[in-house]
Amino acid sequence: MKIPVEASPFLTIVYRFLLALIVCLALVLIGGTLYSLFSRHENVSPFSEFDLTSSPTEGTFTSIGQLRLPVAETGSIVILNISFPYNPNDRPFSEELAGKVMNFRTIAAEYFLSFSITGLSEKSEEEVKAGLLERFNEVLRLGKIETLYFSDYMIIE
Burial of 64 (0-12, 13-18, 19+ CB in 10 A): buried
CB crowding 73-82: b at 16 or more within 10 Å, else e: eeebbbebeb
73 compared with 3, residue with greater pLDDT: 73
What is the pLDDT at residue 5? 60
Helices (H), the chain: 9-38, 91-99, 101-113, 117-122, 125-139
For the chain, how long is the longest CA-to-CA vector? 97
Q: Where are the domains of the chain?
A: 8-40, 48-156
pLDDT single digits (tens) 47-74? 444 444 444 457 899 999 899 988 877 7
**Architecture field, domain 48-156:** 2-Layer Sandwich (3.30)
DSSP state of 82: E
pLDDT single digits (tens) 82-134? 999 999 889 999 999 999 999 999 999 999 888 888 888 888 999 999 999 99
What is the pLDDT at residue 11? 83
Query: Does pLDDT of 20 surpass 50?
Result: yes
Query: Does pLDDT of 140 surpass 80?
Result: yes
Kind plus residue range of the DSSP H or E element containing 59: strand 59-61
What is the pLDDT at residue 49? 47
CB within 8 Å of 98: residues ≥ 6 apart: 46, 47, 63
